Amino acid sequence: MDRYDSWGQVPENLRTKTQLADLDLPRIPGTGPVAYVYDRRPCGGRKSTFELYDTATSLPSPASARQLEAARARQHPANRTCDGCGAHPDSGAHLTIAGEDEQRRARLLCRTCQRIAQLRERLTQAATDRAGAARDAAAWLAADTAAVVHVREITPPPGENGRPKRPIALSVGAVTPSGAQLAHWAIRLNKSRNPLIPPGTVPAAEALPALREQLAGRDVIAWAVGSLKHIETALAAPHEPGQRRRELVVLERAVARWRGEIDPRFRRLTYQLDPGRADLMALLIRRMAADHDTEA
């Protein structure tokens, strides 16, 4: 059977027994389960496994029309009407906490209006986060003491077996947030004579100590977690008692917050492309800082 890891992945034609029973005209499974989903109930709680049935093979409830009318009369009619758009969804309206500040209240919404309300809340939060990201960038630019570091791996193409190969060289660049160059190295990681290795590369044993000196005393702004793994020894400055530890900032997260673009499918910030060079990372910082200057 198919397995789904969230309700958002479940196709429209698959429902649980409870969901079939909650339809405007209730139905019951006509066959056994065809799939299952492992997730929390829509109202919350612990994750659990829920069996899913195909609506195409489901059958009408054995209850008579008169019995269904009596059951409906015992329900509040608003439970089947969306407060947002007035729709009468087959699966009923869902209780949702929506709105901003003093207008925030519980409402019965169809799935579309519920999604819109959730996206609006996420966009409101994104606007706050965007201002914070711009403020952080303005502080980095004003101090201009950090090192914006980018490492590009030079890796041969996969072999005939399809397995990825290890990088053979690195291109390392470091600038200040204002764009002043601090370091630029082409570093050889092994003794390979692969033609992909650019001319003028320096062995890591020679380049990393020099890079360590060039970045001494500076906090580091990297693109992503783990992007500097090949030059960790150059960043691991000895720590003396009372000395401030080097701070590592992940720029990818700050840029995602500043852009504030939300993926409507998952209500989370969108993926950000690696700029590819340290000077382009610094350019992004300056563009982010300009937003703070405008707001100020």
Domain boundaries, the chain: 1-75, 130-295
Q: 48: burial class by Cβ within 10 Å (0-12, 13-18, 19+)?
A: exposed
Within 10 angstroms of residue 126's Cβ, the number of other Cβ atoms is: 21
pLDDT score of 276: 95
pLDDT score of 101: 60
pLDDT score of 244: 54
pLDDT score of 264: 87
What stretches in the chain show pLDDT beneath 70? 42-44, 76-78, 98-103, 237-245, 293, 295-296
Cα–Cα distance measured from residue 270 to residue 284, given in angstroms and rounded to the nearest whole number: 16
Q: 199: burial class by Cβ within 10 Å (0-12, 13-18, 19+)?
A: exposed
Q: Encode pLDDT of 220-252 as tens digits.
A: 999 998 899 999 887 875 555 555 567 889 999
130-295 is a CATH 3.40.50 domain:
no
pLDDT score of 150: 97
Cα–Cα distance measured from residue 267 to residue 261, given in angstroms and rounded to the nearest whole number: 10
pLDDT score of 245: 61
**Distance, C-alpha 51 to centroid of its chain:** 29
DSSP 53-101: EEGGG-EE-SS-HHHHHHHHHTS-GGGGS-TTT----TT--EEEEESSG
Residues with Cβ < 8 Å from 195, sequence gap 6 or more?
A: none
CB-facing half-sphere around the CA of 150: CA atoms within 13 A: 20
pLDDT score of 296: 56
From the list 109, 44, 49, the residue with the least C-alpha distance to 78 is 109
pLDDT score of 49: 93
pLDDT score of 100: 65
Radius of gyration of the chain (CA): 28
Cα–Cα distance measured from residue 173 to residue 249, given in angstroms and rounded to the nearest whole number: 16
Cα–Cα distance measured from residue 204 to residue 284, given in angstroms and rounded to the nearest whole number: 29
pLDDT score of 77: 65
